[in-house]
Amino acid sequence: MGPYIQAKNISLTFRPKDREPVTALDGFTLDVAKGEFVALVGPSGCGKSTFLNILLGLLRADTGDIRMNGTAITGPGSERAMVFQEFGLLPWRNVLANVELGLELKGIPTASRRESAMELLEMTGLAGFERHYPHELSGGMKQRVGLARALATDPEVLLMDEPFAALDAQTRDLMQTELLHIWDRTKKTVVFVTHSIEEAAYLSDRVVVMTARPGRTKEILRIRLPRPRDYEMRLLPEFNEIKAGIWRALKDELVSKSAYGS
């Protein structure tokens, strides 16, 4: 049985008008197993988010092949959902209505989508806030709504583009642990983009280190920490050794990026 997600030699160059072309990805290759949690780390501009958008089906690679469960990805599909750094909530809809949005667009009857949404609000710690509006919520609560909305359509793959980057440190730590609890329950396949080495090490089964632009697969590190995980695990010497290994793989790329100023 082959990998659940398979990306082979993905290359993409952006060609904006009146500017030089920019190659975001050049021969990027990655396999992801079903139910695996994989993090992508690399310098800014190395194509991490670009790859997520190709996987989501919003962008088409110039060359290469990308498949999910053996089927080529040629556009968006309900089996994939994205959680963004920006919360992207509709301000005129309350929490419950925001979570129901995807189900509503799929034509799910009101009673069924309400039941599903309420279960997700319970799972994400938002029970009791279903009638609140986005402006009444903290950053962490808004991101919980975004996560619940992404899970509402029961996607097979959850794509997460620096979802906790805008949060304060304590809320970020809390959301990481909450995400692991949700992942333990749902066993979704997750591809997670982050700039944080600690976050990647804590959450993931494997960490993919990408080169400076154009992005390629530099090194893949397996995180040999037991699950379930908790915050105290970060205090262990083994955790620091894992972080150091990711840093060693990444630091030359950061230096290289700094040297050519992009």
182 shares a domain with 226: yes
Contacts 24+ apart (CB under 8 A), 172-176: 172/199, 173/231, 174/140, 175/140, 175/143, 175/144, 176/202, 176/203
The answer, yes or no, to whether residue 226 has pLDDT greater than 80, is yes
Q: Is residue 84 one of the residues assigned to a domain?
A: no
pTM, to two decimals = 0.91
The one-letter code for the residue type at 214 is P
65 shares a domain with 17: yes
* Tally of domains in the chain: 2
Query: Which residues span the domain enclosing 105?
Result: 90-154
Q: What is the tens place of the pLDDT at every residue in 175-202? A: 999 999 999 999 999 999 999 999 999 9
Q: What is the mean pLDDT of residues 90-95?
A: 93
169 shares a domain with 140: no
Q: Is residue 32 one of the residues assigned to a domain?
A: yes
Q: Is residue 209 one of the residues assigned to a domain?
A: yes
d(CA 236, CA 255): 28
CA angle 134, 87, 68 (to 5 degrees): 135
The CATH number of the domain where 52 resides is what?
3.40.50.300
Q: What is the tens place of the pLDDT at every residue in 22-78? A: 999 999 999 999 999 999 999 988 999 999 999 999 999 999 999 999 999 999 998
d(CA 129, CA 114): 14
